[in-house]
Amino acid sequence: MKMITLTLFTLLAFSTNAKSSVDSNAEFPAGTGTTSDFSVQAFSHPLSGTRGALRREFQVGNSFFNTVWVATPASTTARDGLGPIYNAVSCSSCHFKDGRGRGLPEEDGVTDVSLLFRLRVKTLAESKEVIPHPVYGGQFQPQGVPGVPGEGISTVRFEKIQIQYHDGFFAQLLKPIYSFLALNYGPFTEATIASPRVAPQMIGLGLIEAIKESDILKNEDPFDANGDGISGRANRVYSIVNQSITLGRFGWKAGKANLIEQNAAAFNGDIGITSPLFPEEECTQTQAACLNLKTAEDITIERLNAVTLYTQLLSVPARRNFSKPEVIKGQKVFHQISCASCHTPSYITGDSPIEGLANQRIYPYSDFLLHDMGDGLADDLQEYFNEDEATTREWRTPPLWGLGLIPTVNGHSRYLHDGRARSLEEAILWHGGEAQKSRDAFMQLPSTDRSNLLEFLNSL
Ligand code: HEC
Ligand code: HEC
Ligand SMILES: [Ca+2]
Ligand SMILES: [Ca+2]
Ligand SMILES: [Ca+2]
């Protein structure tokens, strides 16, 4: 009898202890495929264990990701078809080293190539509906091939916002104000909404694609039934591949359902490379020179598939300083001030034909749902549906994995959807709307807790 009681007691003690200690799997955010290179190449490796035909296909995809496309006609038909209008000549000019674009310049001036703008025009005043811009289309493409005018130049000026903590420390936020110059197809009207987006890091995307839809949808709380002030909603978008409305997962507003469509849309919208999924060039009916130079199927489905496999296999580096006391304390703070209510730490992926993607315990720190993030981050102060079900005030919670390595890989520490935050601290201070309570709680923390939280984020 005594023996049994003792065993039970030990078991209980063990389970309480396990609950309060750190989850050791979290050191390997991509599960068995997690990599451990923390150099400038940290984001460029396939899931570890990728071998044989899969690895070769990854290399093929990698080469197309880095291909510099040229205008037609060209001496090389292997990589022509650029434009007629475009943002950049390669995927890697924006996703440099498979990492994050900087988006914005240090001071007022022309925006970086890695920042693009989605364009919409408000229709009726009372309706929240928008249409793509009738002249400029759904995206602003600054460049044109010879003989085709690019659409113009985007510039930014910054308004300084001074912030003071309760303990006397200061921070300064830079609010970007965008303008469009040298508009070659006429001025923008008042009703134009330009939504800025920076190129995000490319890591762990196949694992995100493999998360079961039900595991994302179960965190939706559109009417805030649990009363915590947070009301995540899924974006639902038309998928060309499924030919039906599907859960959106990719992009800053979860506007794309899967990687093949995201990649095909990037080829088409950002580089002017058409494919079987997007056979039409981006030219609108009023862009005559562009229409005259249209080409069909610049890239085959085989090549698009190779790039897609590449984007599915890019791994996530292991955590650094995982057991450092400050990092562990920072992780507690992260949960205490409800950062985890949107930045959902972990999932187990569903089935996948690729072993490294199937049934993996992963740690992306996102619910992949849309949240109203307040006036400061909104595309427009009024609410319009400017990307499927996502409004001008909403953004998809971005995954936080790999954030601490962006300075190493990309040589900058710019965060948020347009790169306006110059540090992780500034990124937190920009949180408003549904995240206002969390942000205010951050500001009330003792400075050691604030810096522990930042150490935790840097360890991801
Ligand atoms: C002009 C810069 C630019 C170029 C060139 C570019 N991208 Fe992107 N990429 C972006 C931006 C900006 C986003 C976010 C888009 C959004 O929010 O809608 C993005 C998003 C993505 C995503 C989704 C990532 C995520 O976390 O959801 C993938 C995948 C991607 N791009 C692949 C590619 C591929 C493949 C190419 C080359 C064919 C490419 N991109 C070319 C800027 C670029
Ligand atoms: C209501 C949901 C919500 C809460 C709560 C929340 N976040 Fe976020 N977080 C977001 C969204 C959405 C974005 C993207 C906003 C944007 O780019 O405009 C974001 C962006 C970030 C970024 C920048 C990521 C990147 O890729 O650039 C960091 C860092 C971050 N959050 C950390 C935190 C921390 C720390 C807390 C707790 C203090 C927190 N968040 C609370 C939803 C939330
Ligand atoms: Ca083309
Ligand atoms: Ca355009
Ligand atoms: Ca809620």
Would you list the DSSP string of 269-337?
III----SSS-S-S--TT-HHHHHT--S-SS-HHHHHHHHHHHHHB--BPPSSTT-HHHHHHHHHHHHT
Q: What is the pLDDT of residue 1?
A: 40
Q: State the chain's mean pLDDT as an integer.
A: 94
The pLDDT value given to residue 21: 64
Ligand 5 is an ion; its neighbours by CB within 5 Å are 221, 224, 226, 228, 230
- How many Å apart are CA 450 and CA 18, to the nearest integer? 26
Q: Rounded to 5 degrees, what angle do the CA atoms 117, 118, 122 make?
A: 125
Beta-carbon contacts of residue 405 (< 8 Å; ≥ 6 apart): 38, 42, 43, 317, 320
Residue nearest to atom 14 of ligand 1 (CA): 251
What are 316-364's pLDDT values in tens digits?
Answer: 999 999 999 999 999 999 999 999 999 999 999 999 999 999 999 999 9
Residue pair 207/359 in contact by the 8 Å Cβ criterion: no
CA-to-CA distance for 320 and 22, rounded, in angstroms?
14
CA distances to 132, 148, 219, 369 from 236, in Å: 18, 35, 15, 10
In this structure, the residue with its CA closest to atom 13 of ligand 2 is 397
- Rounded-to-integer distance, Cα 182 and Cα 142, Å: 10
Tell me how far the alpha carbon of residue 438 lies from the centroid of ligand 5, in angstroms: 13
Q: Write the pLDDT tens digit of every residue in 100-159.
A: 999 999 999 999 999 999 999 998 877 899 999 999 999 999 999 999 999 999 999 999
User: At which residue do the structure tokens 């475009």 appear?
Assistant: 86
Beta strands in 5-152 (DSSP E): 85-86, 109-110, 115-122, 130-132, 143-144
Tell how strand 109-110 and strand 115-122 pair up.
Answer: unpaired
Q: pLDDT tens digit string along 397-435?
A: 999 999 999 999 999 999 999 999 999 999 999 999 999
Q: Which of 18, 67, 64, 77 is nearest to 309 (CA)?
A: 64
| Closest ligand 1 atom to 87 CA | 1
Residue 331 CB coordination number (10 Å): 24
Residues in contact with ligand 1 (CB, 6 Å cut-off): 65, 87-88, 91, 93-95, 113-114, 116, 197-200, 205, 250-253, 255, 259, 262-263, 266-267, 270-271, 307, 311
Q: Which residues line ligand 2 (CB under 6 A)?
A: 230, 334, 337-339, 341-343, 371, 373, 377, 395, 397-398, 400, 403, 415-417, 424, 427-428, 431, 434-435, 438, 442, 457
Which atom from ligand 2 is nearest to the alpha carbon of 341? 5
> Rounded to two decimals, what is the model's pTM?
0.95
Give the distance (Å) from ligand 1 centre to CA of residue 11. 49
How far is ligand 2, taken at its centre, from the CA of residue 134, in Å?
33
Which atom of ligand 2 sits closest to the CA of residue 230?
1
Nearest Cα to 230, choosing from 412, 427, 31, 373? 373
- Residue 118 CA to ligand 3 center (angstroms) comes to 19
**Atom 31 of ligand 2, residue of closest alpha carbon:** 428
- Looking at 326-451, which runs of residues are DSSP E strands? 347-348, 361-362, 370-372, 385-387, 390-391, 394-396
CA of 282 to the centre of ligand 3 (A): 9
What would the pLDDT profile of 149-172 be if each residue is shown by its tens digit? 999 999 999 999 999 999 999 999
The encoded tokens of residue 58 equal 């990854």
10 Å CB burial of residue 320 (0-12, 13-18, 19+) is middle
The token duo for 277 is 């999924």
Q: Tokens for 199?
A: 């190129």
Q: Which ligand is nearest to the CA of 89?
A: 1
Which tokens hold the place of 375? 């006036």
Spatial CB neighbours of 288, under 8 Å, sequence gap ≥ 6:
none
